[in-house]
Amino acid sequence: MKTLLNITLTTILLGMGTAYAAEDCQSLQEQKNLIYAAHGYCFNDPAAQKEYGADCHTKKPKFSDAENKRLAQIEEKQKALNCPKKD
């Protein structure tokens, strides 16, 4: 019985970790999208198009040094979490 309880608790905790990672991936993607949207980026992702509209004018925006640094941090964290790629 104790073994079953340990297995159940482990399964629940692992599931929570996956949910947390998915939530973290979503937050990171939203942060990245905000930076891109501020520079008129034309998104391919339908959810991003719906969120940020069709008022776009570039697929190659230019970012400040601070924005490039933050984007690199976001992408590094996304890679570490194995987040799905979106544009």
Q: What is the pLDDT of residues 3-56, one digit of tens each?
A: 544 454 444 444 444 444 667 999 999 999 999 999 999 999 898 999 998 889
Q: Is there a domain that residue 9 lies in?
A: no
Return d(Cα 80, Cα 69) in angstroms, integer.
Answer: 17
Q: Is there a domain that residue 2 lies in?
A: no
Containing structural domain, residue 37: 25-81
Cα 26–28–30 angle (5° rounding)?
70
Tell me what pLDDT residue 7 has.
52
Count: domains in the chain:
1
Q: Is there a domain that residue 19 lies in?
A: no
Q: Is there a domain that residue 64 lies in?
A: yes
Q: Is there a domain that residue 1 lies in?
A: no
Q: Is there a domain that residue 37 lies in?
A: yes
Q: Is there a domain that residue 34 lies in?
A: yes
50: Cβ contacts below 8 Å, ≥ 6 apart: none
